[in-house]
Amino acid sequence: MKDELVLILNCGSSSVKFAILHPAVGNTLVEGIIRRIGLAESDLHYVFGAKEVNHPLGHINYSQAIEEIIKTIRQSSDYLDNIVVVGHRVVHGGERFTSSVIIDSAVLDAIRAYQHLAPLHNPPNIAGIEAISRIFPHLPQVAVFDTAFHQTMPDYAYLYAVPDRLYKEYDVRRYGFHGTSHRFVTQEAAKLLNRSLNECAFVSAHLGNGCSAAAVKNGKSVDTTMGLTPLEGLMMGTRSGDIDPGFHAYMAEQLKCDVKEVTRILNHDSGLLGISGKTSDMCDLQKLADAGDMRAQLARAMFSYRLAKYVAALAVPLGRIDALIFTGGIGENDVGIRAEVLKWLNILGFKIDQKSNALHGKNNHAIITQKNSTVAMVIHTNEEFLIAQDAFALIRR
């Protein structure tokens, strides 16, 4: 009997990540990315076993990118013959989708209807789905939504203090993102702690170029930091995170520009990049900070402080913290950031184990705190595996 495999597609605002996984064990057979879609210098990076390929593609759109991915995989292996379902990461599912779903025309129409809430992400997600429909018309496809996990938040957590008609007529509310990552790492944390997920209170901190934290109680999201858009909440690579709502009008007047330009500044010129003035990459900031760059030092200090504040706030809906989970590129790799955050959180009983933190918890079942401490853990996120599991389970159900 042949292995049944899942093709994963993550169509972002300027890229397409792809992977082929075995849904039962999670091993990745193929992975890669096409970057800078829509620009003249787009390129493909592809890993298959010991083989690694990089080559330029020129100006292509999303449909052409999917075709290039399929062609590249077909030239390297026969894995496509074993694909039984395609799983798509879809950023915004609004209030309609509370779990992953098999894609049909009604689901696709609903994803289109939420484009105004994620204009940089839902259109590429749709393009990926449509491209697969043309190439493999009989292959089932599944949508796994970033927002679905957070649909368990109570109304007092997801509503803004604005007139009710803005929610009812314009869908203005907090949706939250990174749901697939938060769901995966909290499940893993429960396993590592040998506890039932339905009896755990976790704060999950997904820290990459985009950052969010979530309060997960008994396996369900009860609050999170991102809101109507991914701009709200924590300080990020190029995004400001929380800011005075009056900032838009003030800066539009001062800069003699429209609100769209102010929003662009907050999304693309702010965060770590805006404070340091040099880079949004935390590894580069660490090197600059070690060399005495005061702006880099400030950027890292602000990032840690603001994250700690939010972790403390997310303890409120939980009532307790069974574990703080660090994940994502920064969360999994930056020893200094984790140390600073836990130092700020001493009030909640966190005491870092310096040796375990330096080893990213690999010597201690992912735990980086002392035995008499509130638990903090480092868990590698694997959104692709969760997407593969959801997709495979739905077509087998």
Q: Where in the sequence numbering do the catalytic residues fall?
A: 146
Give me the sheet containing 201-207, strands edge to edge.
220-224, 211-217, 201-207, 323-327, 376-378
- Residue 183: name the closest of 157, 158, 210, 152 by CA: 152
Cα separation, 337 vs 344, in Å, equals 11
Contact predicate 157/216, CB 8 Å: no
For the record, the structure tokens of 289 come out as: 């900070």
Cα separation, 15 vs 288, in Å, equals 29
Q: Say if residue 94 is exposed, middle or buried (CB neighbours under 10 Å; 0-12, 13-18, 19+).
A: buried
Q: What is the DSSP string of 248-300?
A: HHHHHHHHT--HHHHHHHHHHS-HHHHHHSS-S-HHHHHHHHHTT-HHHHHHH
The vertex-234 CA angle with 230 and 238, nearest 5°, equals 65
Task: Give the contacts of 273 (CB within 8 A, at least 6 positions apart).
Answer: 237, 238, 279, 280
Q: Say if residue 113 is exposed, middle or buried (CB neighbours under 10 Å; 0-12, 13-18, 19+).
A: middle
SS3 47: strand
Cα separation, 116 vs 134, in Å, equals 25
Beta strands in 136-293 (DSSP E): 141-145, 201-207, 211-217, 220-224
